[in-house]
Amino acid sequence: MPSDDGPSASDDGLLAPGRVDSAVETATGDAAYVRALLDAEAALTRAQAAVGLAPPAAAEAVTAAARDTGRYDARDLAVRARSGGNPVIPLVDALTTAVSERDAGAAAYVHRGATSQDIVDTATMLVCSRALAAVLGDLDDTAAALARAAAEHRGTPMAGRTLTQHAVPTTFGLKAAGWRELVLDARDRLAAVRAALPAQLGGAAGTLAAFHAFAEADGREPVPGSDLGLRLLAAYAAETGLAEPVLPWHTLRTPVADLAGALAHTAGALGKVAADVLALSRTETGELAEGSGGGSSAMPHKANPVRATLIAAAARQVPALAGVLYGALAAEDERPAGAWHAEWQPLRDALRLVGGAARDAAELTAGLRVRPERMRANLDATGGGIVAERLAAVLGAHLGRDAAKRLLTDVARRAREDGTGLAGTLGRALRARHPAVADAFPAARLRELADPVAYTGSAGALVDRALRRPGTHPAAPTPQENA
CA 478 – CA 483 distance, rounded (Å)? 12
CA 348 – CA 356 distance, rounded (Å)? 12
The letter for the amino acid at 115 is: T
Catalytic residue among 189, 194, 307, 335: 335
What is the full DSSP assignment across 351-391? HHHHHHHHHHHHHHHHHPEE-HHHHHHHHGGGTTGGGHHHH
**Cβ–Cβ < 8 Å for 157, 191:** no
| φ, ψ of residue 293 in degrees (nearest 5) | -75, 165
| φ, ψ of residue 243 in degrees (nearest 5) | -70, 155
Cα–Cα separations (whole angstroms), residue 255 to 126, 196, 200, 439: 12, 8, 11, 68
- DSSP three-state, residue 334: coil
CA dihedral 353, 71, 68, 33 (to 10 degrees): 20
The letter for the amino acid at 290 is: E
CA 273 – CA 181 distance, rounded (Å)? 11
* Residue 324, CA atoms < 13 Å, CB-side half-sphere: 17
Catalytic residue among 75, 282, 292, 296: 296
Whether residue 3 lies in the annotated active site: no
- DSSP three-state, residue 162: strand
Percentages helix, strand, coil for the chain (3-state, rounded to 5) are: 65, 5, 30
* Sign of the CA dihedral with 419 first, then 423, 427, and 433 last: positive
Contacts of 65 (CB under 8 A, 6+ apart): 95, 98, 99, 101, 102
Whether residue 296 lies in the annotated active site: yes
Cα–Cα separations (whole angstroms), residue 445 to 387, 429, 442: 14, 15, 5
CA 274 – CA 284 distance, rounded (Å)? 18
* Sign of the CA dihedral with 21 first, then 22, 23, and 27 last: negative
In angstroms, the first-to-last Cα distance of the chain is 44
In this structure, the strands spanning 288-289 and 369-370 are antiparallel
- Active site positions, annotated: 296, 335
